[in-house]
């Protein structure tokens, strides 16, 4: 059991904040040759195949799944009611933000909240040398025409950002973030308060399974998350 815990601990080590940001926007960022990728995947599966055979591994996996279910249902009706007081209170609560994101995924519009979160992270940047690459990453993912997760912005707002992206500041995306916030508040938030996801919470009912679109690769935080996905398939 101790060996398994050490293994998971090593694979789940946190990276620096700067690396985490770029994983959030672009993913790993490491380029591997096809041969290197195959070798690494083979080694990963060899390590996991040994653990899968151990009873304690299955116990830990069951515990993790139970923990995940507990995390999803730990919100009290009283807490959920507070989310209905204002959109700001919903986003300021960690579980509220996660629940709202899950709702947006059912509507295939999670790019709005992901853009908002990326802007919040960007404004907290401390290293001046990271401002330009971070701004460019946000622009390429959410702003530019035909971006993979392009958000709905008016022409003027996009134009201002496009012209200033070579010399961005921590407030370069403020106008765009504000517009996306208003869109979610006036549109998505209203539907969220009427959704089964929210009504089940305030009534204290068990959460119903929802059909969610697979989370984009760009938001994979650690390599181990991919490993867990593989394990789920094998089991």
d(CA 33, CA 37) in angstroms, rounded, equals 6
Among candidates 201, 141, 207, which has minimal Cα distance to 176? 141
Residue 208's pLDDT is what? Answer: 74
Residue 11's pLDDT is what? Answer: 46
Residues 6+ apart with CB under 8 A from 103: 188, 191, 192, 195, 197, 198
Tell me which residues of the chain have a pLDDT lower than 50. 3-8, 10-11, 13-14, 28-33, 48-71, 213-235
Residue 77's pLDDT is what? Answer: 94
Residue 211: burial class (beta carbons within 10 Å; 0-12, 13-18, 19+): exposed
Residue 29's pLDDT is what? Answer: 46
Tell me the pTM. 0.61
Residue 155's pLDDT is what? Answer: 95
Residue 19's pLDDT is what? Answer: 58
Residue 234's pLDDT is what? Answer: 30
Residue 17's pLDDT is what? Answer: 54
């Amino acid at each position: 059991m101790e060996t398994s815990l050490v293994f998971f601990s090593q694979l789940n080590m946190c990276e620096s904040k700067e690396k985490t940001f770029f994983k959030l926007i672009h993913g790993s960022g490491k380029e591997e040759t096809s041969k290197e990728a195959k070798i690494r995947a083979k080694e990963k599966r060899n390590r996991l195949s040994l653990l899968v055979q151990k009873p304690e591994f299955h116990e830990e996996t069951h515990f993790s799944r139970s923990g995940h279910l507990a995390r999803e249902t730990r919100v009290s009706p009283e807490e959920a009611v507070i989310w209905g007081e204002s959109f700001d209170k919903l986003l300021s609560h960690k579980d509220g933000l996660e629940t709202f994101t899950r709702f947006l995924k059912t509507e295939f519009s999670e790019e709005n909240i992901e853009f908002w979160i990326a802007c919040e992270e960007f404004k907290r940047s401390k290293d001046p040398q990271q401002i330009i690459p971070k701004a460019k990453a946000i622009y390429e993912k959410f702003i530019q025409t035909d971006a993979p997760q392009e958000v709905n912005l008016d022409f003027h707002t996009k134009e201002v950002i496009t012209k200033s992206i070579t010399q961005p500041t921590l407030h370069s995306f403020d106008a765009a973030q504000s517009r996306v916030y208003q869109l979610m508040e006036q549109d998505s938030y209203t539907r969220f308060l009427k959704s089964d996801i929210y009504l089940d919470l305030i009534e204290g009912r068990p959460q119903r399974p929802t059909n969610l679109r697979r989370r984009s690769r760009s938001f994979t935080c650690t390599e181990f998350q991919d490993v867990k996905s593989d394990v789920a398939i094998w089991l």
